[in-house]
Amino acid sequence: MSLTDTPRIITSRFDFDDSYTLERYEATGGYQALRKALGTTPAAISDEVKAASLLGRGGAGFPAGVKWGLTPADVWPRYLVVNGDESEPGTYKDRLLMERDPHQLIEGVLLACYAVGCGQAFLYVRGEMALAQERIAAALNDAYAAGYIGRNILGSDFSVDVVLTWGAGAYIVGEETALIESLEGNRGMPRLKPPYFPAAKGLYMQPTIVNNVETLSNLPWIIVNGAEAFTALGAETSRGTRMFAVSGHVKTPGVFEVEYGVTTFRDLIYSPSCAGGILGDRSLKAFIPGGASAPWFFEEHLDLPLEKVTVDRAGSMLGSGAVVVMDETTDAVKACLRVVRFFARESCGKCTPCREGTTWLEQILQRILDGYGRPTDLDLLLDVSDNISPGIAWPPKQTTICPLGPSAVSPIASALTRFRPEFQARIAQAEQARLSVPVAFPKAATHA
């Protein structure tokens, strides 16, 4: 299926100016999936989602249907938490879905609650997204008034409240257990898994499903059109479509809903219907395939498909669907530092290897960039990295409760493996500068 033929599963209303209104939603098939679901059993809905092989679109790529099935039998109540805390550098899609098609998301939330038996849902929107909060508040108000949410939905015995709630500025809160902590009114520090898998012990220690905005937004289409229609698209381990943001040194940066699993990185970066190639037709230096946590890819990876297993095996991840392109003019040291600095700033502070380690990684890189690098610094960077992520392997091991610490290691491993000469050059320059300082005071031969 060519790039331009892809059905727009989740961005179908984006071209309408009033895409976020209930009127437009109802006029374009909105809430049909909900009606269909109410006419069938919750288990039937769960089965359909499982059959669709809908992977989570937040970053981890865990199958949604499987996650739903992890809730322990006969343990009630259950909660649903929507992860709208999009903060991974390079990622720009959930904000678009929340601003432009909030009803699609709401319908997805309702379908999930119906299927899993969640009695209350919390729609957690990133604090810095004022317009998204506004659009969702308005959409919730309209949907309640129309009878789609609340007590006895559309006259059925399905009842659920969907509560809009806010973040307040913390990347780590995008991690599902940290999000739950935040929702409980605490500092957003992750919990150890096991035992605190949210499906088992989540919000208020009850079984909780945490799903990403884009994941839930796929549900209405899947229920209306069927799992088979969804699995007809994509590749075996990556079904359907997915939104990818292509940013950095490209001619037409943008967010593109493309067929998952078969579209390639080359399609995304170079196709005229996507990012249109590199600025000034310069050459590619490196690209980040899946958000700041992902190891970098290079020219030889361009023809890989956007397919989960292939990309994992090639040493990186599709993550949050954020492709960041760096051309030949990019300073690898500077780019590496900026990504590491992000993780150092956003570390929640709970685990020593991350809190101390990311801080040191940033400081060492900063002094290399500033011209004070030492010959031992590159080994030191790798040593600190090894303390956070043993073996600096892929997939990463972690000495920490959550993967933020090991994520900081990704750009270092990539940049040092491929662009070591750039680091060495700066360190050599620093050495030269130190050696060439003229002696201001002659050494005294003797001193009385």
**47 is an interface residue for another protein by CB under 8 A:** no
- Amino acid symbol at 347: S
In this complex, which beta carbon is closest to another protein, that of residue 213 or of residue 364?
A: 213
CB of 235 to another protein, least distance (A): 25
CB of 93 to another protein, least distance (A): 8
**42 is an interface residue for another protein by CB under 8 A:** yes
In this complex, which beta carbon is closest to another protein, that of residue 244 or of residue 360?
A: 244
Q: Which residue has the tokens 């359907």?
A: 240
Question: Which position among 206, 264, 273, 399 is part of the footprint of another protein (CB under 8 A)?
Answer: 206
Q: How far is CA 323 from the centre of its chain?
A: 11
- Distance between CA 260 and CA 306 in Å, rounded? 6
Of 274-333, which residues contact another protein (CB under 8 A)? 288, 292, 322, 324-326, 330
Q: Looking at the DSSP assignment, which residues form a beta bridge with residue 125?
A: 84, 166
- Distance between CA 372 and CA 375 in Å, rounded? 10
Query: Do 392 and 413 meet the contact criterion of CB atoms below 8 Å apart?
Result: yes
In this complex, which beta carbon is closest to another protein, that of residue 260 or of residue 296?
A: 296
Residues in contact with 417: Cβ distance below 8 Å, sequence separation at least 6, in sequence order: none
**372 is an interface residue for another protein by CB under 8 A:** no
Q: Which residue has the tokens 């739903």?
A: 68
- Distance between CA 14 and CA 161 in Å, rounded? 27
CB of 86 to another protein, least distance (A): 5
- Distance between CA 357 and CA 388 in Å, rounded? 7
**26 is an interface residue for another protein by CB under 8 A:** no
Interstrand relation of 322-327 and 241-248 (parallel, antiparallel or unpaired): parallel
In this complex, which beta carbon is closest to another protein, that of residue 247 or of residue 385?
A: 247
CB of 292 to another protein, least distance (A): 6
Nearest to 166 by CA among 138, 129, 120, 204: 129
Of 328-357, which residues contact another protein (CB under 8 A)? 330, 334-335, 338-339, 342, 345-346, 348
- How many residues sit in the footprint of another protein (CB under 8 A)? 91
Contact map string, positions 59 to 98, toward another protein, x by CB under 8 A: --------------xxxxx-x------xxxxxxx-xx---
**384 is an interface residue for another protein by CB under 8 A:** no
